[in-house]
Structure 1
Amino acid sequence: MSSLDLRGAADRADLRLDARALAELDEVDRRSAILTWRGRMLNEHVSARVFSALARQLERAGIRGDRRARVAAMVAEEWRHADRCAAVVEVLGGEPVIELPSLPPVPEHEDADPLEAVLRNVISVSCLSETVAVALIDAERRSAGPPALQRLLAEILADEVGHARFGWRLLEELAPSLSPALRERLGDYLVIALDELATHELSHLPARASPSTAAEAVGVCDGHAARRLFFATVHEVIVPGLQASGLPALSAWRAAQATGTWAGAMAGAR
Protein backbone atom coordinates (compact mmCIF):
# COMPACT_ATOMS: atom_id res chain seq x y z
CA MET A 1 0.00 0.00 0.00
CA SER A 2 1.37 3.44 -0.90
CA SER A 3 1.61 6.27 1.62
CA LEU A 4 1.38 10.03 1.68
CA ASP A 5 4.67 11.38 3.03
CA LEU A 6 4.87 15.14 3.57
CA ARG A 7 7.82 15.35 5.91
CA GLY A 8 9.55 18.71 5.86
CA ALA A 9 6.25 20.58 5.61
CA ALA A 10 6.88 22.75 8.68
CA ASP A 11 10.03 24.14 7.07
CA ARG A 12 8.25 24.65 3.74
CA ALA A 13 5.49 26.59 5.50
CA ASP A 14 7.92 28.25 7.93
CA LEU A 15 5.44 27.30 10.65
CA ARG A 16 6.26 27.58 14.32
CA LEU A 17 3.93 27.41 17.31
CA ASP A 18 4.91 29.26 20.46
CA ALA A 19 6.27 27.12 23.26
CA ARG A 20 3.55 28.22 25.65
CA ALA A 21 0.76 26.80 23.49
CA LEU A 22 2.61 23.50 23.16
CA ALA A 23 3.39 23.35 26.89
CA GLU A 24 -0.31 23.57 27.73
CA LEU A 25 -0.99 20.30 25.89
CA ASP A 26 -0.83 17.08 27.84
CA GLU A 27 0.01 13.87 26.00
CA VAL A 28 -3.66 13.01 25.32
CA ASP A 29 -4.26 16.49 23.87
CA ARG A 30 -1.15 16.30 21.73
CA ARG A 31 -2.03 12.87 20.31
CA SER A 32 -5.59 14.01 19.59
CA ALA A 33 -4.30 17.07 17.75
CA ILE A 34 -1.79 15.05 15.72
CA LEU A 35 -4.49 12.56 14.67
CA THR A 36 -6.82 15.43 13.76
CA TRP A 37 -4.31 17.23 11.55
CA ARG A 38 -2.97 14.04 9.98
CA GLY A 39 -6.56 13.15 9.03
CA ARG A 40 -7.03 16.59 7.52
CA MET A 41 -3.81 16.14 5.58
CA LEU A 42 -5.28 13.01 4.00
CA ASN A 43 -8.66 14.65 3.32
CA GLU A 44 -7.03 17.55 1.50
CA HIS A 45 -5.00 15.11 -0.60
CA VAL A 46 -8.22 13.29 -1.55
CA SER A 47 -9.89 16.59 -2.43
CA ALA A 48 -7.11 17.38 -4.91
CA ARG A 49 -7.85 14.07 -6.63
CA VAL A 50 -11.57 14.91 -6.80
CA PHE A 51 -10.96 18.32 -8.38
CA SER A 52 -8.64 16.76 -10.95
CA ALA A 53 -11.48 14.49 -12.07
CA LEU A 54 -13.88 17.43 -12.08
CA ALA A 55 -11.65 19.35 -14.52
CA ARG A 56 -11.91 16.47 -17.01
CA GLN A 57 -15.68 16.32 -16.60
CA LEU A 58 -16.04 20.05 -17.26
CA GLU A 59 -14.18 19.59 -20.53
CA ARG A 60 -16.42 16.69 -21.60
CA ALA A 61 -19.50 18.78 -20.80
CA GLY A 62 -18.26 21.61 -23.01
CA ILE A 63 -18.04 24.08 -20.12
CA ARG A 64 -15.17 26.29 -21.14
CA GLY A 65 -14.04 29.82 -20.42
CA ASP A 66 -11.69 30.11 -17.47
CA ARG A 67 -13.36 27.39 -15.42
CA ARG A 68 -10.97 24.58 -16.27
CA ALA A 69 -8.04 26.81 -15.33
CA ARG A 70 -9.80 27.72 -12.08
CA VAL A 71 -10.32 24.05 -11.20
CA ALA A 72 -6.65 23.36 -11.98
CA ALA A 73 -5.77 26.11 -9.50
CA MET A 74 -8.10 24.52 -6.96
CA VAL A 75 -6.19 21.23 -7.32
CA ALA A 76 -2.96 23.05 -6.46
CA GLU A 77 -4.64 24.77 -3.51
CA GLU A 78 -5.79 21.43 -2.07
CA TRP A 79 -2.26 20.06 -2.40
CA ARG A 80 -0.99 23.11 -0.53
CA HIS A 81 -3.63 22.60 2.16
CA ALA A 82 -2.41 19.02 2.64
CA ASP A 83 1.13 20.33 3.07
CA ARG A 84 -0.02 22.98 5.56
CA CYS A 85 -1.86 20.35 7.61
CA ALA A 86 1.30 18.23 7.53
CA ALA A 87 3.21 21.23 8.89
CA VAL A 88 0.93 21.36 11.92
CA VAL A 89 1.46 17.64 12.49
CA GLU A 90 5.21 18.24 12.55
CA VAL A 91 5.18 21.20 14.93
CA LEU A 92 3.03 19.14 17.29
CA GLY A 93 5.75 16.50 17.30
CA GLY A 94 4.12 13.98 14.95
CA GLU A 95 5.16 12.48 11.65
CA PRO A 96 3.12 13.58 8.59
CA VAL A 97 3.04 10.16 6.97
CA ILE A 98 -0.14 8.17 6.44
CA GLU A 99 -1.09 5.12 4.42
CA LEU A 100 -3.36 5.92 1.50
CA PRO A 101 -6.59 3.94 1.69
CA SER A 102 -8.12 2.28 -1.33
CA LEU A 103 -10.29 4.99 -2.82
CA PRO A 104 -13.29 4.47 -5.10
CA PRO A 105 -13.16 6.30 -8.43
CA VAL A 106 -14.73 9.74 -8.61
CA PRO A 107 -18.28 9.14 -9.93
CA GLU A 108 -18.59 9.44 -13.70
CA HIS A 109 -22.41 9.17 -13.62
CA GLU A 110 -22.57 7.12 -16.78
CA ASP A 111 -26.37 7.06 -16.57
CA ALA A 112 -26.43 10.80 -17.36
CA ASP A 113 -25.28 13.01 -20.22
CA PRO A 114 -22.04 15.00 -19.67
CA LEU A 115 -23.78 18.18 -18.48
CA GLU A 116 -25.95 16.42 -15.93
CA ALA A 117 -22.98 14.33 -14.79
CA VAL A 118 -20.79 17.34 -14.13
CA LEU A 119 -23.63 19.21 -12.42
CA ARG A 120 -24.09 16.32 -10.02
CA ASN A 121 -20.43 16.44 -9.06
CA VAL A 122 -20.24 20.23 -8.89
CA ILE A 123 -23.24 20.24 -6.56
CA SER A 124 -21.84 17.42 -4.42
CA VAL A 125 -18.31 18.80 -4.22
CA SER A 126 -18.68 22.59 -4.17
CA CYS A 127 -22.23 23.34 -3.10
CA LEU A 128 -22.33 20.64 -0.43
CA SER A 129 -18.91 19.49 0.83
CA GLU A 130 -16.96 22.72 0.31
CA THR A 131 -19.76 24.84 1.78
CA VAL A 132 -19.72 22.72 4.92
CA ALA A 133 -15.92 22.97 5.00
CA VAL A 134 -16.14 26.77 4.94
CA ALA A 135 -18.41 26.78 8.00
CA LEU A 136 -16.31 24.30 9.98
CA ILE A 137 -12.93 25.85 9.16
CA ASP A 138 -14.18 29.33 10.00
CA ALA A 139 -15.32 28.04 13.41
CA GLU A 140 -11.90 26.43 13.95
CA ARG A 141 -10.14 29.65 12.95
CA ARG A 142 -12.17 31.58 15.50
CA SER A 143 -11.30 29.18 18.31
CA ALA A 144 -7.62 28.77 17.39
CA GLY A 145 -5.18 30.03 20.01
CA PRO A 146 -1.71 30.46 18.46
CA PRO A 147 -1.61 33.35 15.95
CA ALA A 148 0.38 31.22 13.50
CA LEU A 149 -2.43 28.65 13.49
CA GLN A 150 -5.03 31.38 13.03
CA ARG A 151 -3.16 32.62 9.95
CA LEU A 152 -2.82 29.11 8.53
CA LEU A 153 -6.55 28.43 8.95
CA ALA A 154 -7.39 31.83 7.44
CA GLU A 155 -5.30 30.92 4.38
CA ILE A 156 -7.09 27.59 3.96
CA LEU A 157 -10.47 29.21 4.59
CA ALA A 158 -9.98 31.79 1.84
CA ASP A 159 -9.32 29.02 -0.68
CA GLU A 160 -12.29 26.93 0.49
CA VAL A 161 -14.60 29.93 0.09
CA GLY A 162 -13.46 30.13 -3.53
CA HIS A 163 -14.05 26.41 -4.05
CA ALA A 164 -17.61 26.68 -2.76
CA ARG A 165 -18.35 29.85 -4.76
CA PHE A 166 -17.16 28.15 -7.94
CA GLY A 167 -20.00 25.64 -7.75
CA TRP A 168 -22.66 28.06 -6.59
CA ARG A 169 -21.86 30.52 -9.40
CA LEU A 170 -21.81 27.81 -12.06
CA LEU A 171 -25.16 26.46 -10.86
CA GLU A 172 -26.64 29.96 -10.76
CA GLU A 173 -25.48 30.60 -14.32
CA LEU A 174 -26.81 27.32 -15.72
CA ALA A 175 -30.03 27.13 -13.69
CA PRO A 176 -32.24 29.17 -16.07
CA SER A 177 -31.50 26.77 -18.94
CA LEU A 178 -32.19 23.55 -17.02
CA SER A 179 -35.27 21.68 -18.17
CA PRO A 180 -37.95 20.63 -15.65
CA ALA A 181 -37.01 17.00 -16.25
CA LEU A 182 -33.35 17.70 -15.47
CA ARG A 183 -34.28 19.60 -12.33
CA GLU A 184 -36.34 16.63 -11.20
CA ARG A 185 -33.49 14.19 -11.86
CA LEU A 186 -31.07 16.44 -9.98
CA GLY A 187 -33.55 16.47 -7.12
CA ASP A 188 -33.49 12.66 -7.08
CA TYR A 189 -29.70 12.77 -7.03
CA LEU A 190 -29.74 15.27 -4.16
CA VAL A 191 -31.34 12.68 -1.89
CA ILE A 192 -28.29 10.47 -2.42
CA ALA A 193 -25.79 13.33 -2.23
CA LEU A 194 -27.22 14.79 0.98
CA ASP A 195 -27.34 11.37 2.61
CA GLU A 196 -23.70 10.76 1.66
CA LEU A 197 -22.72 14.23 2.91
CA ALA A 198 -24.31 13.67 6.31
CA THR A 199 -22.87 10.16 6.61
CA HIS A 200 -19.37 11.39 5.77
CA GLU A 201 -19.40 14.50 7.94
CA LEU A 202 -20.89 12.84 11.01
CA SER A 203 -18.37 10.00 10.78
CA HIS A 204 -15.61 12.62 11.03
CA LEU A 205 -17.27 14.75 13.72
CA PRO A 206 -17.26 12.65 16.91
CA ALA A 207 -20.22 13.12 19.24
CA ARG A 208 -17.99 14.29 22.08
CA ALA A 209 -16.47 17.51 23.31
CA SER A 210 -12.87 18.49 22.73
CA PRO A 211 -10.68 16.90 25.44
CA SER A 212 -9.61 20.34 26.73
CA THR A 213 -9.55 24.03 25.89
CA ALA A 214 -5.84 23.64 25.09
CA ALA A 215 -6.62 20.92 22.53
CA GLU A 216 -9.42 22.99 21.02
CA ALA A 217 -6.98 25.89 20.64
CA VAL A 218 -4.82 23.76 18.33
CA GLY A 219 -7.64 22.43 16.17
CA VAL A 220 -9.32 19.55 18.03
CA CYS A 221 -12.96 20.48 17.56
CA ASP A 222 -15.85 20.20 19.97
CA GLY A 223 -17.78 17.48 18.15
CA HIS A 224 -21.15 18.50 19.54
CA ALA A 225 -20.72 22.10 18.41
CA ALA A 226 -19.40 20.98 15.01
CA ARG A 227 -22.41 18.72 14.47
CA ARG A 228 -24.78 21.56 15.29
CA LEU A 229 -22.92 23.78 12.86
CA PHE A 230 -23.12 21.11 10.15
CA PHE A 231 -26.90 20.82 10.39
CA ALA A 232 -27.30 24.60 10.59
CA THR A 233 -25.25 24.98 7.40
CA VAL A 234 -27.42 22.49 5.55
CA HIS A 235 -30.66 24.08 6.77
CA GLU A 236 -29.68 27.74 6.45
CA VAL A 237 -27.25 27.82 3.52
CA ILE A 238 -27.26 24.72 1.33
CA VAL A 239 -30.97 23.93 1.08
CA PRO A 240 -32.05 27.56 0.49
CA GLY A 241 -29.26 28.07 -2.05
CA LEU A 242 -30.26 25.01 -4.08
CA GLN A 243 -33.93 25.94 -3.84
CA ALA A 244 -33.08 29.38 -5.24
CA SER A 245 -31.67 27.66 -8.33
CA GLY A 246 -34.90 25.77 -8.84
CA LEU A 247 -33.84 22.44 -7.38
CA PRO A 248 -36.14 20.58 -4.94
CA ALA A 249 -33.55 20.58 -2.16
CA LEU A 250 -35.98 20.81 0.76
CA SER A 251 -37.88 17.69 -0.25
CA ALA A 252 -34.57 15.94 -1.01
CA TRP A 253 -33.23 16.79 2.46
CA ARG A 254 -36.41 15.50 4.08
CA ALA A 255 -36.15 12.29 2.07
CA ALA A 256 -32.50 11.88 3.07
CA GLN A 257 -33.45 12.32 6.73
CA ALA A 258 -36.17 9.71 6.40
CA THR A 259 -33.83 7.08 4.96
CA GLY A 260 -30.43 7.96 6.43
CA THR A 261 -29.04 5.91 9.29
CA TRP A 262 -27.60 9.12 10.72
CA ALA A 263 -30.95 10.89 11.19
CA GLY A 264 -31.01 10.21 14.93
CA ALA A 265 -27.90 12.38 15.29
CA MET A 266 -29.99 15.43 14.49
CA ALA A 267 -31.73 15.37 17.85
CA GLY A 268 -28.44 15.38 19.71
CA ALA A 269 -27.10 18.21 17.54
CA ARG A 270 -29.82 20.65 18.48
Structure 2
Amino acid sequence: MPDLVRRLVAEAWTFRRQVELDAELRFVRLTERLAGLGAPEPLVDLARRAAEDERRHAGMCERLAREYGQEALPPVPVAVEEVAPPALPLREQVLYEVVAACCITETESTAVLTTLLVPDGPPRVRAVLRDILRDEVAHSRLGWAWLSHEHERGAVGFLSRHVPAMLEGTAAPNLFAPGRPEEESPALLKHGVLPHARKRETFVRALRDVVFPGLERFGVDTAPARTWVERRSAAGA
Protein backbone atom coordinates (compact mmCIF):
# COMPACT_ATOMS: atom_id res chain seq x y z
CA MET A 1 0.00 0.00 0.00
CA PRO A 2 1.41 3.45 -0.88
CA ASP A 3 2.43 5.41 2.22
CA LEU A 4 0.00 8.22 1.46
CA VAL A 5 -2.93 5.82 1.20
CA ARG A 6 -1.86 4.02 4.38
CA ARG A 7 -1.81 7.36 6.20
CA LEU A 8 -5.33 8.17 5.01
CA VAL A 9 -6.55 4.78 6.19
CA ALA A 10 -4.91 5.22 9.60
CA GLU A 11 -6.43 8.69 9.94
CA ALA A 12 -9.87 7.40 8.96
CA TRP A 13 -9.86 4.66 11.61
CA THR A 14 -8.53 7.16 14.17
CA PHE A 15 -11.38 9.53 13.34
CA ARG A 16 -13.88 6.69 13.66
CA ARG A 17 -12.51 5.90 17.11
CA GLN A 18 -13.34 9.43 18.21
CA VAL A 19 -16.80 9.26 16.63
CA GLU A 20 -17.52 6.03 18.49
CA LEU A 21 -16.29 7.46 21.81
CA ASP A 22 -18.50 10.51 21.34
CA ALA A 23 -21.42 8.26 20.45
CA GLU A 24 -20.91 6.26 23.63
CA LEU A 25 -21.30 9.41 25.74
CA ARG A 26 -24.29 10.51 23.69
CA PHE A 27 -26.09 7.20 24.17
CA VAL A 28 -25.34 7.24 27.90
CA ARG A 29 -27.02 10.65 28.10
CA LEU A 30 -29.92 9.58 25.89
CA THR A 31 -30.47 6.50 28.06
CA GLU A 32 -30.99 8.74 31.09
CA ARG A 33 -33.19 11.20 29.23
CA LEU A 34 -35.36 8.57 27.56
CA ALA A 35 -35.90 6.91 30.92
CA GLY A 36 -36.80 10.27 32.43
CA LEU A 37 -39.38 10.86 29.70
CA GLY A 38 -41.03 7.53 30.40
CA ALA A 39 -39.88 5.83 27.20
CA PRO A 40 -40.81 2.15 26.85
CA GLU A 41 -38.24 0.00 28.64
CA PRO A 42 -37.16 -1.84 25.44
CA LEU A 43 -36.11 1.50 23.92
CA VAL A 44 -34.22 2.50 27.07
CA ASP A 45 -32.46 -0.87 26.94
CA LEU A 46 -31.60 -0.30 23.26
CA ALA A 47 -29.98 3.02 24.15
CA ARG A 48 -28.07 1.45 27.04
CA ARG A 49 -26.77 -1.36 24.82
CA ALA A 50 -25.89 1.17 22.13
CA ALA A 51 -23.54 2.94 24.57
CA GLU A 52 -21.82 -0.37 25.31
CA ASP A 53 -21.60 -1.13 21.58
CA GLU A 54 -19.94 2.19 20.81
CA ARG A 55 -17.26 1.67 23.46
CA ARG A 56 -16.46 -1.73 21.93
CA HIS A 57 -16.38 -0.22 18.43
CA ALA A 58 -13.91 2.42 19.59
CA GLY A 59 -11.54 -0.30 20.74
CA MET A 60 -11.74 -2.10 17.41
CA CYS A 61 -11.16 1.14 15.50
CA GLU A 62 -8.16 1.94 17.68
CA ARG A 63 -6.57 -1.44 16.99
CA LEU A 64 -6.97 -1.00 13.24
CA ALA A 65 -5.68 2.57 13.37
CA ARG A 66 -2.52 1.34 15.09
CA GLU A 67 -2.14 -1.55 12.65
CA TYR A 68 -2.14 0.98 9.82
CA GLY A 69 0.57 3.01 11.51
CA GLN A 70 -1.20 5.56 13.70
CA GLU A 71 0.91 6.27 16.77
CA ALA A 72 -0.57 9.26 18.60
CA LEU A 73 -4.29 9.11 19.37
CA PRO A 74 -6.53 11.98 20.49
CA PRO A 75 -7.58 11.94 24.15
CA VAL A 76 -10.72 10.09 25.18
CA PRO A 77 -13.55 12.66 25.40
CA VAL A 78 -15.19 13.21 28.75
CA ALA A 79 -18.27 15.09 27.51
CA VAL A 80 -20.30 15.36 24.33
CA GLU A 81 -21.88 18.55 23.04
CA GLU A 82 -25.58 19.25 23.00
CA VAL A 83 -26.87 19.30 19.43
CA ALA A 84 -30.49 20.36 19.88
CA PRO A 85 -31.42 24.06 20.04
CA PRO A 86 -31.63 24.97 23.75
CA ALA A 87 -34.85 26.90 23.19
CA LEU A 88 -36.75 23.68 22.48
CA PRO A 89 -38.61 21.97 25.33
CA LEU A 90 -36.71 19.00 26.75
CA ARG A 91 -38.91 16.42 25.06
CA GLU A 92 -38.35 18.05 21.68
CA GLN A 93 -34.62 18.36 22.38
CA VAL A 94 -34.44 14.61 23.01
CA LEU A 95 -36.39 13.84 19.85
CA TYR A 96 -34.14 16.18 17.87
CA GLU A 97 -31.02 14.43 19.19
CA VAL A 98 -32.38 10.92 18.65
CA VAL A 99 -33.38 11.74 15.07
CA ALA A 100 -30.00 13.37 14.36
CA ALA A 101 -27.95 10.62 16.02
CA CYS A 102 -29.94 7.55 15.02
CA CYS A 103 -32.33 8.19 12.13
CA ILE A 104 -29.70 10.18 10.23
CA THR A 105 -26.17 9.44 11.47
CA GLU A 106 -26.61 5.73 12.25
CA THR A 107 -28.61 5.15 9.07
CA GLU A 108 -25.86 6.87 7.08
CA SER A 109 -23.26 4.75 8.88
CA THR A 110 -25.17 1.61 7.94
CA ALA A 111 -25.09 2.63 4.28
CA VAL A 112 -21.35 3.34 4.41
CA LEU A 113 -20.47 0.08 6.16
CA THR A 114 -22.59 -1.94 3.75
CA THR A 115 -20.74 -0.33 0.83
CA LEU A 116 -17.36 -1.04 2.46
CA LEU A 117 -17.94 -4.79 2.84
CA VAL A 118 -16.09 -5.70 -0.33
CA PRO A 119 -15.09 -9.35 -0.79
CA ASP A 120 -11.36 -8.68 -1.27
CA GLY A 121 -10.85 -6.71 1.96
CA PRO A 122 -8.47 -8.05 4.64
CA PRO A 123 -10.31 -10.52 6.94
CA ARG A 124 -9.59 -8.44 10.06
CA VAL A 125 -11.08 -5.33 8.43
CA ARG A 126 -14.15 -7.20 7.18
CA ALA A 127 -14.70 -8.67 10.65
CA VAL A 128 -14.68 -5.22 12.25
CA LEU A 129 -16.97 -3.78 9.57
CA ARG A 130 -19.47 -6.62 10.01
CA ASP A 131 -19.46 -6.26 13.79
CA ILE A 132 -20.05 -2.52 13.69
CA LEU A 133 -22.65 -2.82 10.90
CA ARG A 134 -24.75 -5.26 12.91
CA ASP A 135 -24.89 -2.84 15.83
CA GLU A 136 -25.43 0.31 13.76
CA VAL A 137 -28.57 -1.23 12.28
CA ALA A 138 -29.95 -1.65 15.81
CA HIS A 139 -28.97 1.92 16.72
CA SER A 140 -30.78 3.22 13.66
CA ARG A 141 -33.89 1.28 14.64
CA LEU A 142 -33.84 2.94 18.05
CA GLY A 143 -34.22 6.31 16.35
CA TRP A 144 -37.07 5.26 14.09
CA ALA A 145 -38.85 3.54 17.00
CA TRP A 146 -38.66 6.67 19.20
CA LEU A 147 -39.80 8.88 16.32
CA SER A 148 -42.77 6.54 15.82
CA HIS A 149 -43.53 6.68 19.55
CA GLU A 150 -43.48 10.47 19.60
CA HIS A 151 -45.52 10.66 16.39
CA GLU A 152 -48.26 8.70 18.12
CA ARG A 153 -48.25 11.19 21.00
CA GLY A 154 -48.58 14.23 18.74
CA ALA A 155 -47.16 16.13 15.79
CA VAL A 156 -43.44 15.90 15.12
CA GLY A 157 -43.58 18.24 12.15
CA PHE A 158 -41.45 20.82 13.99
CA LEU A 159 -38.45 18.70 13.01
CA SER A 160 -38.79 19.74 9.38
CA ARG A 161 -37.05 23.09 9.81
CA HIS A 162 -34.26 21.48 11.84
CA VAL A 163 -33.28 18.62 9.53
CA PRO A 164 -30.90 20.78 7.41
CA ALA A 165 -28.95 21.66 10.58
CA MET A 166 -28.82 17.96 11.47
CA LEU A 167 -27.41 17.19 8.03
CA GLU A 168 -24.87 20.00 8.36
CA GLY A 169 -23.70 18.41 11.59
CA THR A 170 -23.52 14.94 10.06
CA ALA A 171 -21.75 15.71 6.78
CA ALA A 172 -17.99 16.13 6.79
CA PRO A 173 -17.02 19.77 6.09
CA ASN A 174 -15.42 18.91 2.74
CA LEU A 175 -17.90 16.22 1.69
CA PHE A 176 -19.27 18.17 -1.27
CA ALA A 177 -15.91 19.61 -2.34
CA PRO A 178 -13.69 17.82 -4.87
CA GLY A 179 -11.43 15.25 -3.27
CA ARG A 180 -7.65 15.22 -3.54
CA PRO A 181 -6.22 12.57 -5.90
CA GLU A 182 -5.09 10.34 -3.04
CA GLU A 183 -8.60 10.53 -1.52
CA GLU A 184 -9.99 8.91 -4.66
CA SER A 185 -7.60 5.96 -4.61
CA PRO A 186 -9.44 2.66 -5.25
CA ALA A 187 -7.01 1.04 -2.79
CA LEU A 188 -8.82 2.76 0.09
CA LEU A 189 -11.98 0.71 -0.31
CA LYS A 190 -10.64 -2.68 0.74
CA HIS A 191 -9.14 -1.16 3.88
CA GLY A 192 -12.44 0.23 5.13
CA VAL A 193 -12.37 3.74 3.68
CA LEU A 194 -14.62 5.05 0.92
CA PRO A 195 -12.98 7.09 -1.83
CA HIS A 196 -14.19 10.68 -1.56
CA ALA A 197 -16.63 10.72 -4.48
CA ARG A 198 -18.07 7.36 -3.40
CA LYS A 199 -18.52 8.71 0.14
CA ARG A 200 -20.52 11.69 -1.15
CA GLU A 201 -22.60 9.46 -3.42
CA THR A 202 -23.37 7.05 -0.57
CA PHE A 203 -24.33 9.92 1.76
CA VAL A 204 -26.80 11.45 -0.71
CA ARG A 205 -28.27 8.12 -1.78
CA ALA A 206 -28.95 7.07 1.82
CA LEU A 207 -30.76 10.35 2.42
CA ARG A 208 -32.91 10.09 -0.67
CA ASP A 209 -33.63 6.36 -0.47
CA VAL A 210 -33.97 5.80 3.30
CA VAL A 211 -33.82 8.84 5.56
CA PHE A 212 -36.15 11.22 3.73
CA PRO A 213 -38.86 8.61 3.02
CA GLY A 214 -38.64 7.48 6.65
CA LEU A 215 -39.13 11.01 7.97
CA GLU A 216 -42.00 11.66 5.57
CA ARG A 217 -43.74 8.53 6.81
CA PHE A 218 -44.13 10.25 10.17
CA GLY A 219 -45.28 13.57 8.76
CA VAL A 220 -41.94 15.39 8.67
CA ASP A 221 -41.73 17.59 5.58
CA THR A 222 -38.33 16.99 3.98
CA ALA A 223 -38.52 19.81 1.41
CA PRO A 224 -36.03 21.99 3.36
CA ALA A 225 -33.65 19.05 3.71
CA ARG A 226 -33.90 18.18 0.02
CA THR A 227 -33.15 21.80 -0.83
CA TRP A 228 -30.09 21.62 1.43
CA VAL A 229 -28.80 18.59 -0.49
CA GLU A 230 -29.39 20.28 -3.85
CA ARG A 231 -27.63 23.47 -2.79
CA ARG A 232 -24.65 21.69 -1.27
CA SER A 233 -24.33 19.45 -4.33
CA ALA A 234 -24.50 22.41 -6.67
CA ALA A 235 -21.95 24.38 -4.64
CA GLY A 236 -19.56 21.44 -4.64
CA ALA A 237 -19.91 20.92 -8.36
Query: Quick check: TM above 0.5?
Result: yes
Distance apart, 1:55 and its partner CA: 1.5
Q: Does 1:254 align with 2:230?
A: no
Residue identity in the other structure for 2:70: G
User: Structure 1 stretch 30-39 or stretch 214-223: which is displaced more?
Assistant: 214-223
Q: Does 1:189 align with 2:162?
A: yes
Distance 1:110 1:153, change over 3 A: same
Consecutive unaligned residues in structure 1, runs of 5 or more: 1-24
Secondary structure of 1:148's partner? helix
Match of 1:95 in 2: 71
Distance apart, 1:237 and its partner CA: 0.8
In 2, the alpha carbon distance for the partners of 1:145 and 1:265 equals 34
Match of 1:216 in 2: 189
Residue identity in the other structure for 1:254: R
Q: Once the two structures are superposed, what CA deviation does each residue of 1:60-87 show, in whole Å capped at 9, x if it has no partner?
A: 3221412222211111111111100111
The structure with more radius of gyration: 1
| TM-score of the pair, normalised by structure 1 | 0.77
User: Structure 1 stretch 128-137 or stretch 58-67: which is displaced more?
Assistant: 58-67
User: Structure 1 stretch 31-40 or stretch 86-95: which is displaced more?
Assistant: 86-95
In 2, the alpha carbon distance for the partners of 1:144 and 1:38 equals 22
Match of 1:52 in 2: 28
Match runs of 1:21-170 below 5 Å: 25-95=1-71, 97-99=73-75, 105-107=81-83, 109-142=85-118, 145-170=121-146
In 2, the alpha carbon distance for the partners of 1:175 and 1:115 equals 12
Q: Once the two structures are superposed, what CA deviation does each residue of 1:30-82 show, in whole Å capped at 9, x if it has no partner?
A: 21211111111111111112112212221232214122222111111111111
Distance apart, 1:96 and its partner CA: 5.8
Match of 1:236 in 2: 209
In 1, the alpha carbon distance for the partners of 2:55 and 2:175 equals 20
Secondary structure of 2:133's partner? helix
Secondary structure of 2:74's partner? strand
Match of 2:218 in 1: 245
Asked if the contact 2:27/2:51 (under 8 Å) is kept, the reply is: yes
In 1, the alpha carbon distance for the partners of 2:226 and 2:177 equals 23
Distance 1:150 1:239, change over 3 A: same
Secondary structure of 1:201's partner? coil
Asked if the contact 1:61/1:114 (under 8 Å) is kept, the reply is: no
Distance apart, 1:205 and its partner CA: 7.8
In 1, the alpha carbon distance for the partners of 2:177 and 2:115 equals 16
Distance apart, 1:122 and its partner CA: 1.0
Q: CA RMSD in A?
A: 2.6
In 1, the alpha carbon distance for the partners of 2:2 and 2:211 equals 38
Asked if the contact 2:157/2:220 (under 8 Å) is kept, the reply is: yes
Match of 1:264 in 2: 234
| TM-score of the pair, normalised by structure 2 | 0.87
Residue identity in the other structure for 1:81: H
Distance 1:184 1:172, change over 3 A: closer
Q: Once the two structures are superposed, what CA deviation does each residue of 1:143-201 show, in whole Å capped at 9, x if it has no partner?
A: 6611221111000100001100111122123323313xxx332222223223333xx33
Percent identity reads 23
In 1, the alpha carbon distance for the partners of 2:34 and 2:7 equals 41
User: Structure 1 stretch 185-194 or stretch 25-34: which is displaced more?
Assistant: 185-194
In 1, the alpha carbon distance for the partners of 2:56 and 2:40 equals 25
| Number of residue pairs matched by the alignment | 235
